[in-house]
Every structure is written in C-alpha cells, then in structure tokens.
Structure 1
Amino acid sequence: MADGEPSGAYREFKALVEAADRKFARARDLPLYGGGDHHSRKAFKAYTRLWRLQQDRRRDLVAAGLRRWEIGEVASRIGQLYYARYLRTAEPRSLVGAYVFYEAIYSRGYFAAPANANASAAAGGGAKHQGLLIRYKELRFIARFLVVAMLMRRAEAVDHLVARLRSLVQESKSAYPKTNFKEWKQVLQELERFLKADGAYKGSRSLRYDNLFDSYASNLASIARFHSKRVLKLKEAVLTSYHRNEVKFTELTLDTFRMLQSLEWEPTGSYQIAVKELTENGTMSDQSGPSGLIDIHLSTEISDGNLPSNPQRAIIYHPTVSHLIAVLATICEELSQDSILLIYISASGLADQNAYQKYASSSTSRSRPASAFLIDKPNSHASSDDHVWLGPRGNGGPNNLYPEDLIPFTRYPLFLVIDSENSHAFKAGHT
C-alpha cells in the first residue's frame, strides 16, 4: 500500500460527502407531494456510492482518521431518505429500510460518546465544541428513530429509545452546563404526552387494514357490481390537523399518526433484519470498527400482489388555509380520472373567542379574505359553526376554512373526512 493512499481515499470520501450533502439538501427542501422525486433518487445514488466506498476502503479510511460519527452521519442520511420515500410513496419496504439503518446506527453506537468524553467536555476549544455537535446529532437521530419505531409498532424499541433519550438529555446538561437544552426537555414532554395518549400501541392490533381480519365476504358482491360500472381507486390522501396544545411528536400529530396507519394495508409478509460487520476474509469482526455492512433481507415479500398499493399521502403540519388549498390544487393537477382523493382535516371549530368576536363585529361590511374561492352567500361568515379553524392562538377569520373553499375540488372523486365539532357544516346539502 502506498504511503499516500489512505489520505487519498479520505479525500475522495470527503469530496463524495460534500456532493451527497448538496443533493440531500435539495431533496429535503422539496415537499413530499407532487414532483421532485428525482432529487431523492439522486441523493440515494450519491449516498449509496459513499456507503460502498467506506465499505471497500475501510482500513484506509480508518488509518486516515475516519471517525465513527462520520459513518453514522452517512447511515443516518440514508435512513432519512428511506423515511422520506415512505412518506411520499407509502411503500412498506421504505419504512423497513429506515428502521434497518437506524437500528444499526443505534446498536453500534456511531454517535455515542467515546470513553474519554468527560475529559473532552472538560477541555476547552475545538474538542468541546465538536463533542457538543455530535451530541446534538445523537439527540436528533434518536428522535427520528423513535418516529420510525412507533410507526412499525416496535413497543420494546420505543420504550428503550425513550429511556435513552431521557438519560441523554440529563447527561448533556451535566456535560455541557453552559448550553441550554430546554428545547430537548420540551421534546421529552411532548413525547411522554404522545405515548400516553397513544398508549394502546403496546400489544394491540395495528391500525392498518388487515385483509385477514377486516374483510367481509358479504360485501364482495356489492363491490363487484360497483366496479363493473367504474373502477375508482384511492390513490392520494391529504392529512392535516391543527389544534391548540395539540398532542404531537416532532411534526407528527396524534391524529395524522393514526390516519397515516389507517390508510395502509397490513403487510402480509414477514421480514428479517440482518446487520453484519464483515472483514475482508468474510469472518465476523467486533463492533469497534467505524463501518459495517448493512443488508436488508426480506424472508417474503412485504407487499402482497393481491392487495392494492397504499395511497400516497401528503402530511401537512399546521398549514394556513391558503397553503392547504395550494397543496390540494397541486395534487389534483396530477390526479388521474380513476383516482379518489381523500382529504382528512382535524381542526377545531372554535377560534380564540376575543379574536372571533372582533372579526365578526366588522365582517358584515367586508368580504371574507380566508376563502380562496369565494361564493356569494349572504352572511356566510357571520356564523361560528360553519367552518373549521386553522391558525395560531389569537387569530380568527383569515384562518377559517369554509365548505365552499373545497367546492372546486369536488370536480374530482373526493372523500372528505372532517374531524371537528363543526363537521356538520361540511355535509352535502348543508351549505
């Protein structure tokens, strides 16, 4: 081996990291609906090449100074791309892929502090700053892993990760006393509240539709007669919720978390996760090395060819009325004639009372600015029970979503679910 080869391999690795990070940033900034999937594919290709390089040139890279957290960062990005693909396409394989990479990162401790972490934290300068950056990476990684584990209903893994996140926040406060970890204390509070509200995740049946338990043979004849006239398939779904003091974890609210699963078929196959670290001669090595081979082995197909594919979902976190309507318009542009669009909106019908009274007292002399598609309807905005409210505390009328705002989208096959005390306003014939 030439003397300059290790440093050359490391320079190649760093150059590929920079190129992959740029592609990842472009893919991350795009919404998970409409076009843009080609950016995700480019990022996948870049990180796959990077991952293979660190496998093939592992010894050279380690000799040149490759650190464990750098490999963890690459694997974490691949996991994030898998999860984003799952949100975009609803493919079970993508969710499994995210879990495989996250589980490997966690089990190998890629972001874990080394044995001399306390000495590094006590030291000044760059070592302490570097340790703090890696600690933040680990905290964010565990939060992402928790979301995937909850979606896969891995109760034991969720309990373990919650305990680890709690202890890690406490360790961080002690190791870096001058750093404010208040936001992570809030994350823990949100997580505990979320798991308490969704306590049924332990040992209960999945919310996903199971062809074995949820099919009714008596309905098949009626379905066949309906399909003989026109075959419609649920292809797209828009899920959103907006409540004050909403139960949520990260940007996944409890309502959208449950609906997300309810719109999926329960995988009929089983999968086996194999995470192996091999040396060049094929024997198992210990876990002290910075790299490893991560394989996904599916013992049977996760998806069943006899079942329909899961509908694609757009999960919109706390949108404004105009943003929600823009998303619906974008999705409808690409909706095929045989497709059904499902819209799920969970929101309160009661805005801040002071703001609402102020708005209502002056609204009789002006048009309502909230609606993107105004329809003449005398005093339609004067009632407090004819809309749902999408907005922050203390803001009223402009954040009201009215039934007539959704009328343009009824030109497409539409399935509307309004989870609100004012849902009656959206019934056919009510407006």
Structure 2
Amino acid sequence: MSENDVVTRTFRALVEGADRKFARVRDVPAYGRLHNQHYFHKVFKAYMRLWKYQQENRSKLVADGLNRWEIGEIASRIGQLYFGQYMRTSEARFLLEAYVFYEAILSRSYFDGSTGSRGFGKKDIGVRFKELRFYARFLLVSLILNRTETVHLLAERFKSLVDDCKANFRDTNFKEWRLVVQEIARFMKVDTAFMNVRPLRYSTLFDSHPASLPYVARFHAKRVLKFQDALLTSYHHNEVKFAELTMDTYRMLQCLEWEPSGSFYQKRPVEPKENGVFIEHSGASAASGVIDMNLAADMTDPSLPPNPRKAVIYRPSVTHLIAVMATICEELPLDSILLVYLSASGKVGRSNASQVYSSGGSQKSSKNKAPLQDQNKFLPESCINNKGESSGYYDQYLWFGPRGNGGLNNLYPGDIIPFTRRPLFLVLHGAERGETAALLLSPLRPAFKNPADADLTQNGSQFTFFLTAPLAAFCQLVGFSSSDTEAEVYSNAESILSAAFSEWEVILCTTRSLDLVWAQVLSDPFLRRLILRFIFCRAVLSFFCPPEDREQHLPVCLPLLPNPVSPDSEVVRSAVHRLAKHLSVSDYFHFVDT
C-alpha cells in the first residue's frame, strides 16, 4: 500500500468519525443548559483534527482525487457547529468563528468546481445542494452580524446559483430554494438595520449616558436579579422571515446583545473583483489553505460582559412553547430573571368581563368562532367553576398555530401563570392597535322568560343559539316551543326577520361610520350573517331585560358597530317590535323604556 493510500484511508476514516459525532449533536435543542457539553467538545475536536490533517496532507489528498468541494464541506460543517453553539449559548465568539469559516469557503471558491460550467454533470446534484445549503447558512450568519454588503453579495450569488441549478438540472424541483431566495429578498427589503442607522445591539457609544452613569452606579436595590436567559418566538401568518428567524425575533435577538467595538466591524467585507475572484479577508492566503483559528478571538471585545442566552423558537405549538419555558425556568438560577418575548396575533378580551358566563353564551370572535364552552374542554379544571364559567385568565389568548382548531393553538394568560413562580419579564405583541380583532363577546349572563331554560347542559349557549338560529333563540327566550307556534305564524316571523336583516345589511354597506375592522370582513357572507344576527341578539336582549339589569345581559362587540344599527335606532327597534307583536309577546319587552 502506497503512502498516498494510507493518507487517503486515514482521511476518510477521520471524515466518517467526525460525521458520526456531528449527527449526534446536530438536532440537540437550542434551549436549556447543556448537560452533555463534553460531547460537543468531542465533536469540535474531531473536526479540528480532520481539518488539520487535510491541511498537512493537502497535496497528497488532491493527488489521490480529493475534490475542493470536499474541503469546503468540512469547513461548512465546522461553521455549522459554531453557529449551533452560538444559538445555544449566545456567545459572540461562536458566531464570529462561523463567519470566519464561511468567509474562507467563499473567498477560496471551494464549491466553484461544482458548477455546470466547470464540466460537472447531473451526477453532482448532491454537491450543488451542499453549495446551496452553504449559501443559506452563510446568509443567516451575515444577517445576524449585520454584514450588510456581504448579505447583498451572497443574496445575488445565491439567486444566480438557484437559477443555474434550475437550468442544468431540469428534472429536479428547486421550488423550496426559490422560496428561500424570495425570503432573503423580502427580509432585506424590510430590515431597517440595513440602513445607515445605529445598531440594534446595545452600544456603549449610543446607549450609555455619561451624565446619568454616576446615579446608576450608586443605585442599590434590596434584591438584584441577573438577566441571563430569554425566550423569543413569534407566530404570524406570512410573516417576514429568513430560514427559521423571523423579523421580530431577529430584532429582539440583536436587541439583547452587546455591540462589539473590535476590528471585525471596521474591516471591509469580501468584494468581487472584475474578474470574479474574491479578495481574501479570512486571515490567510487561499494558496496556503490555512484558516486562522484565533482570528475570531481577535475580533471579540473582551471588555464586554457575556450576552444573555436566548432560546429562539420558530413557530412553536403551544405545548412546545410551554415545554421550552418549563425547561428554562427549571434551570434558571435563583437570582435570575427570564425575559419572554411572544409576538403573535391574538384576541382581545372584554375588559369588564373577568368571568364570562358560558351557560348564557359563548365568547365569539369573527376571527375565531370557537364557543367558550367548547374552549373549556382545553382548559384546566381549576380554571372552570361549577357553572362552567372560565376565569379571566383564559378570556384572552394569542394564536400559535392555525386558527379554527378550538383552543389547541391558543396561548392563554393562565398558561403562563405557573412560570410566575420565577421572575419573568414579559414582552407581548399581539392584537395591537394596528391589528384590532373583530370581536363579538357574549353577555355576562343569559336572559330567559323561564329560568329553567338557562341550563347550558340542556339548551346550550343562548348567544350561540342567536348567532346560528336567531328566530328559534327568540322563541326560546320568550318561552315558546316548536309545538306552541303554528307553521304559518313561524313562517311569517321568518319573513319579518329576513326583511329586517336585509334593511340592516344595506345600512352596514352604505354607512360611512363602519369601522375598517368590520368593513374588511363584511364581504364574506358567513361573517356578514354573524354580524347581522349579533345586531338582532343585542337588540332583543336590550328590550327584553329590565333597564337596571341590562348591562350584564347584553353582548358586546369590539370595535363598535355604527349607531344606525344599535338598539336605540328606530329601524332596529321597529323590527324587533314587529316580531314581538306578531308572536303576541310584546308585553315581555320594555319598548317604552328605551
């Protein structure tokens, strides 16, 4: 066996050993303190040994058939390991190490031999995928480091690479990679950090104020909590993101880190020359094949304290989010505080309804129409009283998943209560002014002529009944049963109600005072019908209940519907009066008191 054969066999054995170790740590969750940190050291050690071996035996390996892309793949794996450690620890040195290796791959064109123009055919599709993954990972690292010029350069080359792959491998679907190209383009367009403004990270230059610094230094509290851990997540439909980093979490991640002042942020990024050859910035010449392993250490700022650890969770389910919070809280030191950042669409609760009466109604939203009694199936029993009522901790929620799946995807305030045993700093973004929810809220209590009809287990929610079968709910309200009402009388009552709905619909479509929240859903027939039935329900209950008890028996909508369809409106009052007179139940209502 020749010397070259021995070198090649040793190299292949080192590659296989390092890859096996890599597979064991690749999917370790990026949250919680690592109890198997020693194994990560073994993986790094294996790849460092492999990298050093290929450097020392480069000429022999190349003579025996080693491809440049194989060297690039090893460097890419090392960069991936460093980035993974950064996401787990938030230590800037790991992020910088990842950048050093990725920049070396780019500047030395390790993957260039995989392009179709260099004579490679379809059998090398696997190499092209490796190159695509390299660009995506390097883009993510550059984004977090705010290397603006590098990001633009990588994005252009990445797009060209995807286009080239589509042209040379027509039998392969590159749809997912085209989506990645669109993601980075959209991200760069939205990201204001690419403007010439101050950094998002905490900068001593911008954020430390000399005049107040002495007062801060002299301030002492009885208890001082250390901020060392954070949980960041967001869940919005079609939100701006790149890979598994959304714009919201990207900004919060940077906001919770120190801005280095070292040479790394002053040096120019890689730039293409006219002949397409990249200028070397990685601390060594391309010919030597040596990557300066201490370069990242020289770029860090030793004067800065460590960054707080941040667990960035991408579009989690509610159960997964709660599990992550539990893991972090369990490992949180006694003198520490956990920051939780949640950005999601949500439902605004009723301010005066800390306890929603579910036997008289459900709580309805035109964006999430799961009745409260149905949602209670997903709530802890301790949060539901013996009347089936929900506590105020479960009246509002954020969506972490597709809507319309009951309460499975709802994160309630009550879900976070167990974690308040530890100090928490909550930053919640949801259902804000610019994204007001359209809400139809049930009354605090139902109203019936016959109190026995208020039994939820027998009749269900009165509010839901009005929204699904308004005339039948009206009859139930006044104590009528189907056997008490003649078919013709009932049919004429339906006609009265239908005419009223038609008139109210015209008002909604022509009034200029309709809130935009309602206007944007009015064209949907199902939602429009719910709105009309809500108007009817509110008016009927308003006239049915005594004035002194009216408030707790009325449903509420947010934002408010126009006055022309309020119970005080003559067009609404007259319709309810006509229906009550037709069914000979006018005496049950308080029309003269309105």
Task: Please report the TM-score for the alignment, with normalisation by the length of structure 1.
Answer: 0.85
Output one character per residue of 1:119-149: Cα deviation in whole Å (capped at 9) or x when no partner.
Answer: 432xxxxxx22x1111111111101101111
The residue aligned with 1:329 is: 326
Number of matched residues?
A: 400
The residue aligned with 1:154 is: 147
* Distance in structure 2 (CA, Å) of the matches to 1:413 and 1:402: 19
* Distance in structure 1 (CA, Å) of the matches to 2:384 and 2:365: 26
The amino acid across from 1:182 in the alignment is: K
- Report the Cα offset of residue 296 of structure 1: 3.8
* Distance in structure 1 (CA, Å) of the matches to 2:333 and 2:297: 35
Structure-to-structure mapping, 1:21-170, within 5 angstroms: 21-34=19-32, 35=34, 36-113=36-113, 117=117, 119-121=119-121, 128-129=122-123, 131-170=124-163
* Distance in structure 2 (CA, Å) of the matches to 1:397 and 1:375: 14
Higher relative contact order (CA 8 A, sep 6+): 1
Which structure 2 segments of 5+ residues have no match? 268-280, 349-363, 437-594
The residue aligned with 2:345 is: 348
| Structure 2 counterpart SS, 1:132 | helix
The residue aligned with 2:283 is: 275
Whether the 8 Å contact between 1:276 and 1:295 is mirrored in structure 2 is no
Whether the 8 Å contact between 2:193 and 2:200 is mirrored in structure 1 is no
| Structure 2 counterpart SS, 1:41 | helix
> What is the percentage of aligned positions where both structures have the same residue?
51
1:363 equivalent among 374, 389, 397: 374
Output one character per residue of 1:179-231: Cα deviation in whole Å (capped at 9) or x when no partner.
Answer: 11111111111111111111441322210001121123455455446544222
The amino acid across from 2:187 in the alignment is: F
1:391 equivalent among 383, 401, 409: 401
- Report the Cα offset of residue 323 of structure 1: 0.7
* 1:263/1:64 CA distance change after superposition, 3 Å: same
2:386 aligned with 1:375, yes or no? no
- Report the Cα offset of residue 54 of structure 1: 0.5
2:252 aligned with 1:252, yes or no? no
Whether the 8 Å contact between 1:268 and 1:304 is mirrored in structure 2 is no
* 1:216/1:340 CA distance change after superposition, 3 Å: same
Whether the 8 Å contact between 2:96 and 2:296 is mirrored in structure 1 is no
The amino acid across from 1:90 in the alignment is: S
* Distance in structure 2 (CA, Å) of the matches to 1:312 and 1:293: 28
Note the aligned Cα RMSD (angstroms).
Answer: 2.8
* 1:393/1:161 CA distance change after superposition, 3 Å: farther
- Report the Cα offset of residue 353 of structure 1: 6.4
* 1:105/1:162 CA distance change after superposition, 3 Å: same
2:308 equivalent among 311, 315, 320: 311
* Distance in structure 1 (CA, Å) of the matches to 2:371 and 2:116: 63
- Report the Cα offset of residue 61 of structure 1: 1.3
* 1:326/1:383 CA distance change after superposition, 3 Å: closer
The amino acid across from 2:411 in the alignment is: L
Please identify the structure whose Cα radius of gyration is greater: 2
* Distance in structure 1 (CA, Å) of the matches to 2:220 and 2:191: 37
| Structure 2 counterpart SS, 1:275 | coil
Whether the 8 Å contact between 2:78 and 2:98 is mirrored in structure 1 is yes
The residue aligned with 1:208 is: 201
The residue aligned with 2:567 is: none
The amino acid across from 2:134 in the alignment is: F
| Structure 1 counterpart SS, 2:50 | helix
* 1:136/1:245 CA distance change after superposition, 3 Å: same
* Distance in structure 1 (CA, Å) of the matches to 2:181 and 2:101: 23
The amino acid across from 1:55 in the alignment is: Q
The residue aligned with 2:493 is: none
- Report the Cα offset of residue 331 of structure 1: 0.9
Whether the 8 Å contact between 1:363 and 1:381 is mirrored in structure 2 is no
1:233 equivalent among 212, 226, 234: 226
2:272 aligned with 1:262, yes or no? no
Which structure 1 segments of 5+ residues have no match? 122-127, 279-284, 425-431
* 1:115/1:87 CA distance change after superposition, 3 Å: closer
* Distance in structure 1 (CA, Å) of the matches to 2:90 and 2:220: 24
* Distance in structure 2 (CA, Å) of the matches to 1:48 and 1:112: 24
2:423 aligned with 1:413, yes or no? yes
- Report the Cα offset of residue 311 of structure 1: 0.3
The amino acid across from 1:31 in the alignment is: P
* 1:301/1:171 CA distance change after superposition, 3 Å: closer
